[in-house]
Amino acid sequence: MRSHVLGELTSAELVSLSPEATLVIPVGATEQHGSHLPVRADTVVSERIAGMAAATARSAVLVAPVIAYGSSHHHLPFPGTLSLRGRTLLAVLGDLLDSAARTGFRRAVVFNGHGGNDDLVRQAARDAVLDHDITVAAASYWSLGGDRLAAIAGEVGISHVPGHAGAFEAALLLGLGVLIVEDGTAPGRTTGVLPMTEDGVFVAEHDWIARMNGTTDPVTPATPEAGRRLLDHLVAEFAGFLDRFARAA
């Protein structure tokens, strides 16, 4: 296989590769990430981790073009957010997985980088296997990181994992070489009220993103070195999963 990037291969090459390879579909978002991080943050992280994991895995992996739009209507109080409704994203993922199955893939992973997509990617996996002889996994990158991800973050002074537009995401972007905007304000200060949380319960509140000023925590602890440590762990965990998935599916 001369490339792990699906878009770089020809249809003729994919005739033999598709039945043996795991297809990874990265999903991100285009939405506000406070005053310091770019609106493409989730898309960059999901695409880049997927590509690095595909290159690291021992099994055959092909990474599809990233979906740069997610379910982000809750971010619409802020400029720069381009969102799909949840039902629209679910339909898009359904069509893509349907296409993958019809053109020879037998394994696929929907790899998510945005919290608003988390439930939808799992539902897409559930739906796809009803209609096709295909095995589909779905995960958000921070979930694959497990308890060790939070431990590494804690070691470098990052308390919110994954948070939103805070130190965790800032560190990942710095580790990937993406610059953070310096606008002269206190880095990523949060003056709003964070939504209610309770173990085992999901609570949705009206206008919650606006009330927390669009960020969960300051970006201050983020450094490129911290980001690289986090990325190394995430890439290794995803690559390991891809190999286990290839053996089991």
For 186-224, the pLDDT digits (tens) are: 444 554 677 667 778 877 778 778 777 788 899 999 999
| Residue 153 contacts residue 168 (beta carbons within 8 Å) | yes
Q: How far is it, in rounded angstroms, from Cα 146 to Cα 134?
A: 26
Q: What is the pLDDT of residue 25?
A: 98
The pLDDT value recorded for residue 149 is 97
Mean pLDDT of the region 24-50: 97
* Domain layout of the chain by residue ranges: 6-248
pLDDT band (50, 70, 90) for residue 171: very high
Say if residues 81 and 75 touch (Cβ distance below 8 Å).
yes
Say whether the peptide bond before residue 26 is cis (omega within 30 degrees of 0). no
* Nearby residues of 116 by Cβ (< 8 Å), 6 or more positions away: 29, 70, 71, 72, 73, 74, 75, 86
Could you read off the pLDDT of 39-80 as tens digits, one per residue?
Answer: 999 999 999 999 999 999 999 999 999 999 999 999 999 999
**Amino acid identity of 211?**
R
Structure tokens at 132: 């096709």
Q: Which residues contact 162 (CB under 8 A, 6 or more apart)?
A: 115, 142, 168, 169
The 10 Å CB-count burial string (b at 16+, else e) for 59-95 is bbbbbbebbbbbbbebbeebeebebbebeebbebbee
Q: 189 — phi, psi (to 5°)?
A: -60, 145
d(CA 29, CA 40): 7
Query: Per-residue confidence at 106, pLDDT binned at 50, 70, 90?
Result: very high
Structure tokens, 111: 């790899």
Contact (CB, 8 A) for 46 and 27: yes
Tokens of 22: 């795991």
Cα–Cα distance, 105 to 136 (Å, whole number): 10
**Quick one: pLDDT band at residue 152, thresholds 50, 70, 90?**
very high
Average pLDDT of the segment spanning 88-116: 98
CATH number at 6-248? 3.40.50.10310
**9: DSSP letter:** S
| Distance of alpha carbon 147 from alpha carbon 127, whole angstroms | 29
Distance separating the N- and C-terminal Cα atoms of the chain = 20
Task: Considering only residues 249 and 81, tell me which one the structure prediction assigns the higher pLDDT.
Answer: 81
Query: Whole-model pTM?
Result: 0.92
Of residues 244, 245, 235, the one with CA closest to residue 54: 235
